[in-house]
Amino acid sequence: MAAATLLSGDVVGPAAGRTPSIGDVSVTLARCAGVKGRSARSGELFRAVSSAGNRHPYEVYVSARGVDGLPDGVWHYDPRAHAVTLIGPPAVGEVTALVISGVPWRSCWRYSERGYRHVGWDCGTVTAHAVLAAAAQGLPARVETAFDDAAVRALIGARDGAEFPMVLVPLGDGTPAVAAGGEAAQGDLGAGAEEFPLVVAVHEAGNLRGAAEVAQWRRTRAGRDPALRPTAQVPAEAGDEPLELLVSRRRSTRRLDDAAVIPPAAARWIVDVASAAMPGDAGTLHEVRVVAHGVEGLDPGVYRPTADGLERTASTSREATFRTCLDQAPGRDAAAVLFLTPAPGPAVASDPRTYRAALLAAGYALGRIYLAVTALRLDCSGLTFVDSELPATIGVQDALAVIAVGVRR
Ligand SMILES: Cc1cc2nc3c(=O)[nH]c(=O)nc-3n(C[C@H](O)[C@H](O)[C@H](O)COP(=O)(O)O)c2cc1C
């Protein structure tokens, strides 16, 4: 199936999907966390996913249960070698699950406590790619953001304060195999791992302890999301490339052409792809506001999606989005700047677990936007932003993440 169709539709594979084989697991890992090349000039690695500041503050584990060709057990993924290493005994549970963990110091040494957002974004992006890769292989994947944190930390041998389990992606229906069956080997996170007490405190404020707290949190989210809403038709410009090609062509572009104009159908499709909620327990946690600077047929301004199209909510300027994106040129030169904002209501700001899930949801949307933009043969870059500029620029108090879309200069 063309990746554009997958991005448009219900990404959850068939309920009675087959159980995964080692080949399915290998392909899923490559598409979500793999290394796809290396710069001949700098030696820098190109990864399957974008990453805020290119820090890639995550690790991926497979808790295998009945995978054809891979013994049951907990396996750690090494992206450089594209290999897995057994780190723990088989877990209790029914279905194989990916466990995506965050490693905050990889972002925070550079971005300080704000790096916690990066951890959420990047884990969410890896999740989006994993769900799409699984769906492309006919595997039913979903996203579980609620789990017993201490239990999953034990499963993957994560060191307290240095590595947090962030999200589970079970590759089948049933209870994910994430109850540790014994002790796991502790990984080596590399030299220089620093602790960031504020980040640990913010993260741990959202920890869930035991099945009752997990069930209670899920109840607060139940009904907040519907099945993915039907999206606009895939525009012809999106082509019919398989996911593999989109992942390999995906990249960030910092030089956008401020004279470029993109078609309205492309803009609308990107907004729809960005609006999809993670399929799983979290419900809808984000909304999309789009600033159109160069969308054919649209007056420049701020828009929000409605059932019929895009509705203009305010005026703004290229100068304002430049300032809001920390004086970075793509924020000014983009044809469209997408702001992923928290869903209305107090939950994202007041409940730490919901805030964590909202960062994941924003990263999930970013991952999908990058792939949709790649399918359309347009260009984009995630951008950090200045929170205090948001009310004046787009008329909202908070944003979760921002991305500029346009045509490469
Ligand atoms: C959430 C997010 C925020 C980003 N913020 C910026 C930014 O502020 N400035 C920038 O030049 N690039 C930014 N990027 C782009 C990354 O630097 C880029 O993804 C990374 O270097 C990897 O390159 P690639 O996407 O081409 O694989 C961001 C990417 C993401 C996903």
Task: Tell me the pairing of strands 301-306 and 379-383.
Answer: unpaired
Interval between CA 403 and ligand 1 midpoint (Å):
9
Domain count within the chain: 2
Nearest to 401 by CA among 167, 48, 120, 165: 120
For residue 236, the 8-state DSSP code is G
Q: To which H or E segment does residue 214 belong?
A: helix 210-221
DSSP string, 343-406: PSSSHHHH-HHHHHHHHHHHHHHHHHHHHHHHHTT-EEEEE---GGGHHHHHS-S--SEEEEEE
For ligand 1, say whether the CB of 55 is within 6 Å of any of its atoms. Answer: no
For 103-198, list the strands marked E by DSSP. Answer: 164-170
Bridge-partner residues for 77, per DSSP? 84
pLDDT at 14 over 60: no
pLDDT at 130 over 70: yes
Point out the domain boundary residue: 221, 238, 267. Answer: 221
Ligand 1 mutation pick, 31, 32, 252, max ligand atoms within 8 A of CB = 252
For ligand 1, say whether the CB of 46 is within 6 Å of any of its atoms. Answer: yes
Q: To which H or E segment does residue 73 belong?
A: strand 73-78
Q: What confidence score (pLDDT) does residue 15 get?
A: 56
Per the prediction, the chain carries an average pLDDT of: 94
Atom of ligand 1 nearest to the CA of 385: 8
Q: What confidence score (pLDDT) does residue 308 get?
A: 82
Mean pLDDT of 182-195: 84
Ligand 1 mutation pick, 36, 42, 49, 50, max ligand atoms within 8 A of CB = 50
pLDDT at 16 over 80: no
For ligand 1, say whether the CB of 253 is within 6 Å of any of its atoms. Answer: no
Mean pLDDT of 340-344: 96
**228: pLDDT confidence band, cut at 50, 70 and 90?**
very low
- The verdict on 208 and 299 lying in the same domain is no
pLDDT at 161 over 80: yes
Mean pLDDT of 344-357: 94
- The verdict on 200 and 255 lying in the same domain is no
The answer to the question of residue 242 being in a domain is no
The answer to the question of residue 67 being in a domain is yes
Residue numbers of the domain that contains 301: 250-406
Residues 266, 268, 274: CA angle, nearest 5 degrees: 100
Atom of ligand 1 nearest to the CA of 254: 11
The answer to the question of residue 239 being in a domain is no
- The verdict on 266 and 131 lying in the same domain is no
- The verdict on 297 and 154 lying in the same domain is no
- The verdict on 77 and 123 lying in the same domain is yes
Nearest to 7 by CA among 97, 128, 120: 128
- The verdict on 141 and 209 lying in the same domain is yes
For ligand 1, say whether the CB of 254 is within 6 Å of any of its atoms. Answer: yes
Mean pLDDT of 44-72: 97
pLDDT at 254 over 70: yes
- The verdict on 312 and 199 lying in the same domain is no
The answer to the question of residue 227 being in a domain is no
- The verdict on 117 and 257 lying in the same domain is no
Interval between CA 251 and ligand 1 midpoint (Å):
9
The answer to the question of residue 245 being in a domain is no
Phi, then psi, of 380 in degrees rounded to 5: -160, 170
Q: What is the CATH number of the domain that holds 400?
A: 3.40.109.10
Residues 336, 263, 315: CA angle, nearest 5 degrees: 40
Q: Is 206:146 a contact under the CB 8 Å cutoff?
A: no
Mean pLDDT of 182-189: 92
